[in-house]
């Protein structure tokens, strides 16, 4: 399904991948910072202070990594929800357009040019493919008020 | 002293460059995450009935936002400040090594480098203020001050307060809070060689709780012990970042909510008082007056509205060290500097003493500016006995007295 929409499962998947990769990177930086703090090279007091400072930074990097991982998982779930929602909207779109075409076909046979013009006006008012507006259209049709 | 340094400079250089590389890696990830978040259109998902996307979007923007605690730019700043501190330490070690200083003098060398860095920062901030763009000085000053704070934690340690058994302390005179001279007398009494770096917290009234914090000055000019009132501590205090300041700030923040405090300090203790009064409150404690004697002025002045009196003997060389810190305290109505002179050769170290320098006498004088300050803080005077808590301030927890 190729949808020219502001939102799409593909874009969410790319965000999820970006977040997961960044979480991995932060995790690696946390470990590297901690091991850097433990490395020797200078005098006792400064070494201890540096060790404590790197421990603090490493802990914050670990927290950020966990937060990004959690966000990546949440984006993954959003991706699934959006895919399911778009599938429903797509089915509604097919149903509405199918019904409209059937109605229009019969009207064209009976009235001619005026019905075709009306059909074009109605189609122009329909939402774009994948738009959440299809829910409103379907709901209005069921209530008998939209057309 | 033959206790020479042994530092692997190559290793320090490597550590700094690794930290900078890691900071660069995170910095590069920030625009990628922000762009992917915007492209993903999380804010559009509620139109599809998916409202749980909004908290995710909010969290991701918070993660990318500079200045937000626990954000990626924050982590970048921390890594960069670590790298800068390692490089600063390397420079200090090299300098100390070159001139053949001993390990015990290293904190002094580090504090000097810190003061140099602070002066440079101060100059750059002053220049950027001239640019007229209000955001610019803040962009430079905030991370610079954070770096200095971090560096000082390395030089001196976080700072620690240890309660001292009052029975071991020199006896205070009767009515220690009877007036300004008595309070300076407390500072003089607690400046005791057997109890270095020991401050006194006097509870002088209730409803609201009222305290006077008496802060002694430098007592160890070598910096070889762990007391915060030492030479490296004094140099660091000139920059507004020291273990002495941090520890006293924690002490004030820990007082009962609504407490009011009068700060009284001599020399380095006076600088600490000024630094604490940068803001009129510390936690939920209000600072309602600052009295300093023989103290250099810090660059960041005491908060407007806090009564302030700085006594300075013109023959006392110590207040003149304020030039190192770029201090400039305006002499305003009801607050500010009161300069006076005492007989004798000028300048002289004896003029720095609270008694020998004439500070106790001046604090009890009828000078109109002293009188005005005395009236402003008269709620802290009591002729009766007061509860006193003595607190020894050490850099990193090593025990004192020696």
| ipTM confidence | 0.77
Pick from A7, A22, A50: CB nearest B45: A7
CB spacing of A68 vs B48 below 8 angstroms = no
pLDDT given for residue B402 in this prediction:
37
How far is B285 from B333, CA to CA, in rounded Å?
25
Residue in chain B nearest A29 by alpha carbon? B22
Residue in chain A nearest B77 by alpha carbon? A57
pLDDT given for residue B401 in this prediction:
45
Helical (H) or strand (E) element with A117: helix A113-125
Cβ of residue B154 closer than 8 Å to a chain A Cβ: yes
Q: Are B139 and B230 in contact (CB under 8 A)?
A: no
Interface test with B, best of A10, A53, A79, A131 (most B CBs within 10 A): A53
CB spacing of B50 vs A81 below 8 angstroms = yes
pLDDT given for residue A134 in this prediction:
79
Mean pLDDT per 10-residue section of chain A, whose length is 147 residues: 68 96 96 88 67 88 96 96 90 81 72 69 79 77 60
CB spacing of B40 vs A43 below 8 angstroms = no
Over the stretch B105-123, which tens digit does the pLDDT of each residue have?
Answer: 666 777 777 777 777 777 7
Average pLDDT in chain A: 82
pLDDT given for residue B331 in this prediction:
47
> What CA–CA distances, in Å, run from B47 to A82, A139, B41, B44?
11, 16, 11, 6
CA-atom Rg of chain A in angstroms: 28
Q: Give the 3-state secondary structure of residue B195.
A: coil
Residues in A closer than 8 angstroms to B79, CB to CB, are 29, 33, 57
pLDDT given for residue B1 in this prediction:
43
- Which residues on adjacent β-strands are paired with residue B342? none
Interface test with A, best of B12, B34, B40 (most A CBs within 10 A): B40
How far is B248 from B332, CA to CA, in rounded Å?
27
Interface test with A, best of B24, B48, B157 (most A CBs within 10 A): B48
Query: Would you tell me the crossing angle of helices B72-98 and B53-64 to the nearest 10 degrees?
Result: 20
How far is A76 from B38, CA to CA, in rounded Å?
16
Residue spans of chain B under pLDDT 50: 1-2, 329-334, 400-402
CB spacing of A14 vs B19 below 8 angstroms = no
Residues in B closer than 8 angstroms to A22, CB to CB, are 29, 32-33
pTM over 0.80: no
Q: How many CB pairs under 8 A join A and B?
A: 134
CB spacing of A33 vs B7 below 8 angstroms = no
Residue in chain A nearest B37 by alpha carbon? A15
pLDDT given for residue B180 in this prediction:
96
pLDDT given for residue B371 in this prediction:
95
- Which residues lie closer than 8 Å to B200 by C-beta, 6 or more apart? B172, B186, B187, B190, B213, B214, B388, B389, B390, B391
pLDDT given for residue B217 in this prediction:
92
């Amino acid at each position: 399904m190729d949808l020219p929409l502001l939102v799409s499962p593909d874009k969410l998947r790319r965000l999820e991948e970006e977040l997961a990769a960044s979480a991995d990177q932060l995790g690696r930086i946390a470990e590297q910072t901690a091991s850097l703090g433990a490395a020797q090279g200078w005098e006792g007091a400064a070494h201890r202070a540096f060790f404590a400072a790197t421990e603090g930074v490493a802990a914050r990097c670990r927290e950020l990594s966990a937060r990004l991982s959690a966000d990546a998982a949440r984006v993954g779930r959003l991706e699934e929800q959006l895919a399911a929602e778009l599938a429903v909207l797509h089915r509604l779109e097919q149903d509405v357009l199918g019904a409209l075409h059937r109605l229009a076909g019969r009207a064209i046979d009976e009235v001619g040019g005026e019905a075709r013009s009306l059909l074009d006006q109605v189609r122009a008012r329909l939402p774009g493919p994948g738009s959440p507006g299809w829910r409103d259209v379907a709901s209005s049709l069921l209530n008998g008020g939209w057309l | 002293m033959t206790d020479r340094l042994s530092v692997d400079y190559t290793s320090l250089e490597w550590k700094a460059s690794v930290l900078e590389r890691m900071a660069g890696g995170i910095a590069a990830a920030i625009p990628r995450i922000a762009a992917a978040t915007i492209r993903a259109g999380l804010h559009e998902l509620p139109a599809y009935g998916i409202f749980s996307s909004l908290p995710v979007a909010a969290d991701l923007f918070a993660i990318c936002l500079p200045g937000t605690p626990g954000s990626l730019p924050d982590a970048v700043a921390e890594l960069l400040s670590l790298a800068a501190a390692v490089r600063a330490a390397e420079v200090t070690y090299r300098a100390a090594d070159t001139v053949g200083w001993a390990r015990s003098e290293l904190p002094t060398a580090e504090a000097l480098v810190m003061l140099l860095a602070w002066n440079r920062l101060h100059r750059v901030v002053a220049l950027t203020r001239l640019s007229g763009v209000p955001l610019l000085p803040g962009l430079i000053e905030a991370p610079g001050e954070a770096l200095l704070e971090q560096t000082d934690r390395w030089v001196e340690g976080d700072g620690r307060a240890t309660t001292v058994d009052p029975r071991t302390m020199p006896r205070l005179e009767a009515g220690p809070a009877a007036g300004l001279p008595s309070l300076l007398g407390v500072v003089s009494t607690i400046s005791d060689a057997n109890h270095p770096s020991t401050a006194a917290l006097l509870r002088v009234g209730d409803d609201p709780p009222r305290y006077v914090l008496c802060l002694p000055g430098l007592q160890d000019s070598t910096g070889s012990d762990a007391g915060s009132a030492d030479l490296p501590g004094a140099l660091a205090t000139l920059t507004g970042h020291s273990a002495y300041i941090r520890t006293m700030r924690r002490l004030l923040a820990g007082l009962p909510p609504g407490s009011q405090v009068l700060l009284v300090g001599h020399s380095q203790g006076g600088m600490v008082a000024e630094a604490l009064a940068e803001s009129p409150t510390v936690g939920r404690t209000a600072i309602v007056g600052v009295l300093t004697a023989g103290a250099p002025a810090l660059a960041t002045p005491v908060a407007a509205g806090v009564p302030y009196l700085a006594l300075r003997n013109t023959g006392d060389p110590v207040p003149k060290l304020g030039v190192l810190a770029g201090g400039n305290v305006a002499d305003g109505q009801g607050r500010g500097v009161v300069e006076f002179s005492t007989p004798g050769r000028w300048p002289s170290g004896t003029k720095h003493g609270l008694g020998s320098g004439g500070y106790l006498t001046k604090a009890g004088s009828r000078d109109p500016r002293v009188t005005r300050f005395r009236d402003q803080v008269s709620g802290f005077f009591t002729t009766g006995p007061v509860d006193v808590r003595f607190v020894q301030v050490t850099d990193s927890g090593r025990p004192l007295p020696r």
